[in-house]
A and B are shown apart, each in its own frame.
Chain A
Amino acid sequence: MYFKNYVFVLMLVAAMFTNAQECTYTLKGRVIDFHDGQPLVAAQLYVKEVNRSFKTNENGNYVIDKLCAGTYTLYVAHIDCEPKELTVAILKNKEQDIYLEHHIDQLQAVKVLVDVHDDHESSQSSTRINQETLQQFRGATLGDALETVQGVTSLKTGNSVVKPIIHGLYGSRVAIVNNGLRQQDQEWGVEHAPNIDVNTARSIQVVKGASALRYGGDAIGGTILIEPARYLRKDTLSGSITLQGQSNGRGGTLTGQLERYRKSGWFQQATFTTKRLGDYEAPSYVLSNTGSKTNAFHFNTGFHAVAYGFDVNYNYYDARIGILRASHIGNVADLVTSINAGQPATINDFTYAIDAPRQEVAHHALQASGYKRFVGLGKLTGTYSLQFNNRLEFDIRRGTNANRAALDIDLLTHSGAVHFLIDALPQVTIETGIDGTFQTNTPNPDTGVRRLIPDYNSNKLGAFTSIVYKPNNKWIIDAGLRYDRFEIDATKFYLQSRWEGLGYDVQYPQFEIGEQGNQILTNPVFAYDLFAFTTGAKRVFNEHYDVAINISTANRAPNPSELFSDGLHHALATIELGRLDLEKEQSFKLNTTFHANVGHLDVEVNPYVNSIQNFIQLIPTGIETTIRGAFPVYQYEQVNAQIAGVDVALGYDFFNKIAVEQTDTDNELTYLVKKVAHIDSRFSYLRGQNQTNNEPLIDMPPVQFSNRLTFFDVFHGIDLFVSNQTVLKQTRFPNYDYEVAVPQNDGSFSNETVRISESPASFSLWDLGLNFEKDNFLGLRGAAGVSVVASNIFNTSYRNYLNRQRFYADEVGTNFNIQFHYNF
């Protein structure tokens, strides 16, 4: 029962102050299954303050005797259930029933994670977002939920397209793994958000580095592991329904989950979500055409026995997302006008309509997996999955093209994997596996717009092995190795002028296969060998301190966007050019984690440094003039980059000592201790440097602090919180400003600087909220809750350096969010 150790060691400790007195009171009651009301036999109870353990009898009853007046911390655990911590005040003999949730997968190692620090099983730096936090984000995006993790920020396009950034890196450098399946949803684009419904996640683990080798070695930024509900070995039906509404956007979300488990091993899980929002509103204007519609559905069924099992699941996600109308511009002169105007060029009345420019994405994922356990050896797992992603982008177009997508790409991905976990050895756990991915990208030629990403087929074949060695309770030592072969075979039309302008006619004549009009048909074929290695150690000093160090090195092959991009980008009026001669990136990352859990304080400090050779990034290389006007040309270049930073997370509990008179002992005062408040603080600092050109890296997250103070049980069980997020101005940015001639009304031209480099000012936002949750609400089986949150309560106008629309509009203003949920 090693999970018990975690509970005991890591749970925050409630202090207790009592005067010497007679200890004659008894606490008794039953331990009951939350879902079916059945008594739990042989549940363990541990009273921390007196260091005594108890067990329930065959009727689920327990008796804890010889207690003094005071407050006690009780840990309750049962083989089928999540352990629970509760605080009980004793003034006299007392009866109290305890409800436990049964959420344990008997077939997997159980991790109980209860503090800011996470992953006590390896040396990697990672943080988990638990179910309680996710509950707050049921109406939001996955990216919003991930921002609660220190070291994770978001690259946004407006408010609905939110891409996670881990330690300054995003896109292809961050792997998103949904239920064991690496998401393939055209993640290369900066304006492409992950096509995942946050409501299918029961918990999310963020690994901040390339150490999650099982899911690919090329995630040099990190890996986001989205985990669904665990399986139960029990006849039960459980679920939840949440209704969320918000004032900003004037819409909301309805989401529900249903899970059915059988003691025989059969189970079904289903989730559905539907979400509608109209235009968001900034403090002083409507953000026209920023509405969105999202639908998602997830179904999972299977059979799990100890020795073998399988499951089949299907995930569907679709979204129609409006892009701020004012952010679609014709040329650089329009961009200058927008920047100088300080507010969007198009402001219409609020509407739910979603016009062009907009994105329509659909993602289907079908996965089947099976496992077999070998006694005395380990577990063999095989998985096959099929993912289909379609992305449509509608631009502002003329005439008959107005309702025709300007971009229409189908991405089909087959993946297969075989993993073997050897966990029978006492001190060593070994995991090894091979996996392969075959991908076909097919842009639809009927768009009437030259393809942004060409037709291609790609194959990836990889193998990995990782070992965790735990010689004793004090040390964890781990290491892993991975190799991938990545091949890409593309067929692409280049404008002849572009092909020759880039010198490819000399460099890559072998790729030319034909000419049509002013375009040349080419067949670029590339292969990359990718290696990844990680190792680290963790030392647990005692129950209060631990230190971990992890080093990883990994390669990433250039993605299709970096290789083949070729054309005008309307969002920033730039011409973006890929490069065929890009080499793989190589990252070396050192991650260290210091963790202390002392008294009421729980703190984690995570300094890191990531050195990346051949870091691929867009760099402005000149200006091109077309009949539409002048445009800056950005080309993918490779530089040596270094990203170093530190994340700090801290939790602190405040207790109140209340003097009370004992009811049945004369003239004796005792003190009750009650947890009245909790503070959560996070801080991130990061410095990204382009060492080749000796300038800062673009789009690096600025320094930020967030603090949240929660007051418990302020009034009839209502919790209140106030939180603040402060983001400082990013003072380190490369100067990519350039000059452009803007036509004036008198026919002359004025030379103006296009100020695209400067970061926006710092900002500080305050949120206020309350939360109320009640078990057996209105006599119903289960728990119901309501929460009301006002965000940006002072209606602050601000802009965010990491929002692609910062040149056009302010961020959203005050939002009132109300959420009802019922869990059963």
Chain B
Amino acid sequence: MKKILILAIALFAISCNDDDVPQIINEEEVITTVEVTMTNSTDPNNVVILRSVDSDGDGPNLPVNTITGNILANASYLGSTRFLNELESPVEDITLEVQDESLEHEVFYLTTASGVTIAKTDVDTAGNPLGLRFNLQTAAAGTGTMTVVLRHEPTKPNDNTLTGAGGETDAQVTFNVTVQ
């Protein structure tokens, strides 16, 4: 009995000396940035960049959207999308993981701007659409929204619609766009 108590006290004493400062964890998987780059297929100087940045990940701050460049009417754009984690240093390019696990991912583009059509141009390793690259065709001038959604583990192949694809949403951003 006494021995047990002594052992107990000893263990108790050992475990009390544990005041190390814990190591910081920077969220490794969170997507902080969605960046869509579109280049006019006839004018390489007409580059449009749509960027949405959520600097605190799942924290309370709202994502901030910025758009540089103008989307022209009756034009064709070659587009590509990147997903970044800018909380890590160096910045982690999550696009590479999406590409590596193409069977488990798909990017969807939805727009309300009239006459704008978006067609995915890349495929996963099984030949189904992936959506990191796309063609965007504009018609007359107008305004609307453009929504980019990254789905993890969607149904593949699917009916090429967001609602038909299912899966989990890893990123969902909406830009207000003007075709001029």
- A contact residues vs B (CB 8 Å cutoff): 310, 328-331, 333-334, 337, 345-346, 368, 370, 372, 382, 384, 386, 396-401, 412, 414, 416, 438, 440, 443, 445, 447-451, 454-455, 457, 491-493, 495-498, 501, 516-519, 521, 567-568, 575, 624-629, 631, 743-749
Which of chain A's residues has its CB closest to B60's CB? A501
A312 to chain B, nearest CB (A): 9
Q: Are A743 and B166 in contact (CB under 8 A)?
A: no
Q: Are B29 and A397 in contact (CB under 8 A)?
A: yes
Interface string of B92-105 (1 = CB under 8 A from A): 00100110110010
- Cross-chain contact of A457 among B18, B23, B104 (Cβ < 8 A): B18
Top 6 closest pairs, chain A to chain B, by CB: A448-B28, A330-B169, A330-B168, A399-B97, A627-B54, A384-B8
A370 and B112 CA atoms in complex are apart in Å by: 76
- B contact residues vs A (CB 8 Å cutoff): 1, 4-5, 7-8, 11-12, 15-16, 18, 21-29, 31-34, 52-63, 87, 94, 97-98, 100-101, 104, 110-113, 144-147, 149, 151-153, 161-163, 166-174
B139 to chain A, nearest CB (A): 15
A310 and B11 CA atoms in complex are apart in Å by: 20
- Cross-chain contact of A521 among B11, B21, B151, B170 (Cβ < 8 A): B21
A396 and B169 CA atoms in complex are apart in Å by: 12
Known contacts A491-B22, A493-B24, A746-B112; is-contact A333 B169 (Cβ 8 Å): yes
Q: Which of B24, B94, B173 has the most CB of A within 10 A?
A: B24
Q: Are B63 and A626 in contact (CB under 8 A)?
A: yes
A454 and B22 CA atoms in complex are apart in Å by: 9
A346 and B101 CA atoms in complex are apart in Å by: 19
Which of chain A's residues has its CB closest to B12's CB? A414
Q: Are A398 and B15 in contact (CB under 8 A)?
A: no
A743 and B151 CA atoms in complex are apart in Å by: 13
A823 to chain B, nearest CB (A): 34
A649 and B75 CA atoms in complex are apart in Å by: 77
Q: Are B8 and A746 in contact (CB under 8 A)?
A: no
Q: Are B15 and A412 in contact (CB under 8 A)?
A: yes
Q: Are A448 and B31 in contact (CB under 8 A)?
A: no
- Cross-chain contact of A450 among B25, B94, B174 (Cβ < 8 A): B25
A492 and B98 CA atoms in complex are apart in Å by: 32
A624 and B57 CA atoms in complex are apart in Å by: 11
A631 and B170 CA atoms in complex are apart in Å by: 13
Which of chain A's residues has its CB closest to B151's CB? A330
A416 and B171 CA atoms in complex are apart in Å by: 50
Give the residues in chain B near A331, CB-CB below 8 Å: 169, 172
19 pairs, CB–CB < 8 Å, chain A vs chain B: A329-B169, A331-B169, A334-B167, A345-B166, A384-B5, A386-B11, A397-B29, A399-B100, A438-B16, A440-B15, A450-B25, A457-B16, A497-B59, A518-B56, A518-B87, A519-B24, A625-B62, A627-B33, A631-B58
B169 to chain A, nearest CB (A): 3
Give the residues in chain A near B151, CB-CB below 8 Å: 330
Known contacts A398-B94, A398-B101, A628-B172; is-contact A747 B15 (Cβ 8 Å): no
Give the residues in chain A near B24, CB-CB below 8 Å: 445, 493, 516-517, 519, 521
A575 and B59 CA atoms in complex are apart in Å by: 9
Known contacts A626-B54, A743-B162; is-contact A451 B25 (Cβ 8 Å): yes
A330 and B147 CA atoms in complex are apart in Å by: 16
Give the residues in chain B near A396, CB-CB below 8 Å: 152-153, 168
A497 and B34 CA atoms in complex are apart in Å by: 20
Q: With A334-B167, A627-B173 given, name 14 new contacts (CB 8 A).
A: A331-B169, A334-B169, A384-B5, A398-B98, A416-B5, A438-B12, A443-B22, A517-B87, A567-B58, A568-B58, A627-B53, A628-B171, A745-B163, A746-B110
Q: Are A448 and B162 in contact (CB under 8 A)?
A: no
Q: Are B4 and A401 in contact (CB under 8 A)?
A: no
- Cross-chain contact of B172 among A310, A368, A519, A629 (Cβ < 8 A): A629
Give the residues in chain B near A497, CB-CB below 8 Å: 56, 59-61
Q: Are A450 and B152 in contact (CB under 8 A)?
A: no
Which of chain B's residues has its CB closest to A372's CB? B1
B147 to chain A, nearest CB (A): 5
Q: Are B60 and A498 in contact (CB under 8 A)?
A: yes
Q: Are A747 and B112 in contact (CB under 8 A)?
A: yes
A40 and B49 CA atoms in complex are apart in Å by: 93
- Cross-chain contact of A398 among B29, B33, B60, B144 (Cβ < 8 A): B29
A331 and B101 CA atoms in complex are apart in Å by: 21
Give the residues in chain B near A333, CB-CB below 8 Å: 169, 172
A626 and B55 CA atoms in complex are apart in Å by: 9
- Cross-chain contact of B58 among A451, A519, A575 (Cβ < 8 A): A575
Give the residues in chain A near B87, CB-CB below 8 Å: 517-518
A414 and B8 CA atoms in complex are apart in Å by: 8
Which of chain A's residues has its CB closest to B98's CB? A398
Q: Are A330 and B152 in contact (CB under 8 A)?
A: yes
Which of chain A's residues has its CB closest to B6's CB? A384
A625 and B58 CA atoms in complex are apart in Å by: 8
Known contacts A627-B32, A627-B54, A628-B58; is-contact A445 B63 (Cβ 8 Å): no
Which of chain A's residues has its CB closest to B105's CB? A398
Which of chain B's residues has its CB closest to A624's CB? B60
A398 and B101 CA atoms in complex are apart in Å by: 8
A443 and B98 CA atoms in complex are apart in Å by: 29
Q: Are B59 and A416 in contact (CB under 8 A)?
A: no
Q: Which of B15, B59, B63 has the most CB of A within 10 A?
A: B59
Give the residues in chain B near A334, CB-CB below 8 Å: 167-169
A744 and B166 CA atoms in complex are apart in Å by: 12
